[in-house]
Amino acid sequence: MNEWTRQKWEQQMQEQPLTAFYLYTPMCGTCAVASKMMDVVEQLLPNLPLGKANLNYMEQLAYDIEIESVPCLVISQRGEIVDKIYAFQSVPFLYEILKKHLTHN
């Protein structure tokens, strides 16, 4: 999963019908587990534009899109945020959510 800047994410949102942006912090234990799950999801959905960012370096983004906690998976369709996932329950859970959004594209 590639690191995205805010500008890269906003560009992907405008260019792609669906994007997923994974936000984390390096000292978060839950984020470490979620990162491993997201690596598997990335392999399962190779055509999904998926990026990640350390939220410590994107404080304004956290305020602008009202991030409540990390880890957070921000899903956007056609330039609009449609979902924010905070509970990374399992790989199948994440896969099904993203697959559902892909089929409704």
Confidence band for 42, pLDDT divided at 50, 70 and 90: very high
Per residue, the 3-state secondary structure of 73-103, as one string, reads EEEEECCEEEEEECCCCCHHHHHHHHHHHHH
**Region 20-39: what's the mean pLDDT?**
97
Is the Cβ–Cβ distance between 49 and 19 less than 8 Å?
A: yes
**Region 59-70: what's the mean pLDDT?**
95
What domain range includes position 14?
2-103
| CATH number, residue 88 | 3.40.30.10
In this prediction, residue 103 carries a pLDDT of 82
Confidence band for 104, pLDDT divided at 50, 70 and 90: confident
In this prediction, residue 105 carries a pLDDT of 62
* Number of domains the chain contains: 1
Name the percent of the chain lying above pLDDT 90: 94
Is residue 43 predicted with pLDDT exceeding 90? yes
In this prediction, residue 102 carries a pLDDT of 86
